[in-house]
Structure 1
Amino acid sequence: MPMSSRLAPESGFTPIAALVLAVSLTLSGCGGGPTPTTYDLSAPRDFGRIGGARATLVINEPTTVQTLDSDRMIVRDSGGALSFLGGTQWADRIPKLVQTRLIQTFENGSRIASVSRPGERIVPDLQLNTDIRSFNIDAATNTAVVEITVKLVGDRTGHIQRARLFSARVPVGAVDGAAAAHALDQALSKVLIDIVRWAA
């Protein structure tokens, strides 16, 4: 016993630490089911070089309701109730993922002189503010629905220069992970291209 007491302070491994480690290992070994399949969204490339304004643009992270501010795939039933599609997840939170793909779409179309996120030490001419209204599978019509409102705001004046709602619907063959992710990606691509072309 004296030897154990003498070694404990030197090793830093106390009976309490051993108990915490044992509980942690037990919990990690009893994970709640299989790991969800992770899906990503793409930034369109096949719409050609658009050209356009020499403005600098900052794209803020989209706002949205709490349910969509997650990495889960959402299904809306015929009664309007929202639920998560089991066994699936996005590569990031939906607003963060949409922001990243929107920036990349602007870059792919060479649509703007400079496009960036907030905090990248760029003084912008304009800010692009977006709100994700819908990003889900509509089970009643078997369609992927994406709706995003967009506002172009003068950075120095704060005045809204232009505003518009963009939306797209794409049929989905089955309400499962792969089909739903593919349909939502197609719908988002249509919306992203429309936004980039609109932001003249």
Structure 2
Amino acid sequence: MTRPIPALAIATVLLATALGGCGGGAAPMTFDLAALPPSGRTVAAARSIVVAEPVGIQPFEADRIIVREPGGALSFLGGGQWADRLPRLIQTRLIQSLENSGRLRSVSRPGDKVVSDLQLISEIRAFDISAGTGEAVVDLSAKLIAEGTGKVAAARIFTARVPVAKVDAGTGAMALDRALATVLAEMVQWVNSGR
């Protein structure tokens, strides 16, 4: 499922003019990821969910855009960074996307002290530019855990690949945002279907 990407889906705003005179080198541009837009419909919602921050290997715990070389080596793409640590940014956009679907009673974070029916836990398996294939790759595994019993109610892997015309910060961030949009749409549908 694809959706149109708004012209301002990627905010390349924080150009850090204040840092211009501090030390050498230009400040990296900062990029954001977009949540799915509001669906415009609300249904009688019976379930509530807590969305945990995704986990991932150390390079994904940072705010840097990652390039995966053909041999498997990971490097940081110069000239750009995410607006926050990647796991927290994905968690925030997933929460917003679930809220925007209008199909859940509540969507919260662990620690919000909201009683919920399910917890969504996930792992970042890939969120990088594959230099070998010229694609932005987003790969998240997810589990829905019943809060009362701790049993896994459902589990699934979500993957999207988007071609990248060239490996630079702006093009790479935009392609990763588009790939995440596909994954978010599938995850929201999956959570709302109760599977």
TM over 0.5: yes
Shorter chain as denominator, the TM-score bin is: 0.7 to 0.9
Q: Which residue of 2 aligns with 1:73?
A: 65
Equivalent AA in structure 1 for residue 116 of structure 2: P
User: Secondary structure, in 3 states, of the residue corresponding to 1:175?
Assistant: coil
Change (3 A) 1:141 1:52: farther
Match of 1:167 among 152, 159, 170: 159
- Structure 1 residue 53 displacement after superposition: 4.9
Coordinate RMSD, CA, aligned: 1.8
Structure with bigger gyration radius: 1
Give the TM-score taking structure 1 as reference length.
Answer: 0.82
User: Secondary structure, in 3 states, of the residue corresponding to 2:64?
Assistant: coil
Change (3 A) 1:46 1:137: farther
Q: Which residue of 1 aligns with 2:94?
A: 102
- Structure 1 residue 29 displacement after superposition: 6.2
Residue by residue, what CA displacement relative to the aligned partner does 1:40-87 show, whole Å, maximum 9, x if unpaired? 000011766484751110000001000110000000111111100011
Is 2:160 the counterpart of 1:157? no
Q: Which residue of 2 aligns with 1:82?
A: 74
Identical aligned residues as a percent? 53
Q: Which residue of 2 aligns with 1:37?
A: 29
Change (3 A) 1:55 1:46: closer
Match of 1:194 among 165, 172, 186: 186
Q: 1:50–1:197: 8 Å Cα contact kept in structure 2?
A: no
Q: 2:38–2:97: 8 Å Cα contact kept in structure 1?
A: no
Give the TM-score taking structure 2 as reference length.
Answer: 0.84
- Structure 1 residue 91 displacement after superposition: 0.1
User: Secondary structure, in 3 states, of the residue corresponding to 1:120?
Assistant: coil
Is 2:49 the counterpart of 1:57? yes
Equivalent AA in structure 1 for residue 88 of structure 2: K
Larger deviation, residues 140-149 vs 49-58: 49-58
- Greater per-residue helix proportion: 1
Distance 2:177 2:156 in 1: 21
Structure 1 stretches lacking a partner, 5+ long: 1-27
Distance 2:96 2:22 in 1: 40
Distance 1:190 1:52 in 2: 25
After TM superposition, where is structure 1 displaced by more than 4 Å over at least 4 residues in a row? Answer: 46-53
Number of aligned residue pairs: 173
Q: Which residue of 2 aligns with 1:17?
A: none
- Structure 1 residue 197 displacement after superposition: 0.2
Residue by residue, what CA displacement relative to the aligned partner does 1:7-52 show, whole Å, maximum 9, x if unpaired? xxxxxxxxxxxxxxxxxxxxx9652421110000000117664847
